Amino acid sequence: MVESGPTIVTLKEILEAFNAHDLDRIMGFFAPDCVLEMPRGPDPWGARYVGFVAVREG
């Protein structure tokens, strides 16, 4: 069986990057057409960042 989603190893690497506050390492996990939805932000539903540049700035 071929895995179609993230592996436990990948998820741990992402968590380590966030915990280290390493933006370059974090962004290495995002595709150019990525979307990041955060629970907090200016709107009642939080904040939504679309695209690599917007996600990096967010």
Parse the chain into domains and list their residue ranges.
Answer: 8-57
Beta-bridge partners for 49: 36
Looking up tokens 């390492």 gives 25
Per-residue pLDDT of the chain (58 residues; tens, 9 = 90+): 556 778 999 999 999 999 999 999 999 999 999 999 999 999 999 999 999 999 999 8
Check if CATH label 3.10.450.50 holds for domain 8-57: yes
C-alpha closest to that of 31 among 11, 50, 47: 50
Helix, strand or coil, per DSSP, at residue 17: helix
pTM for the whole thing?
0.74
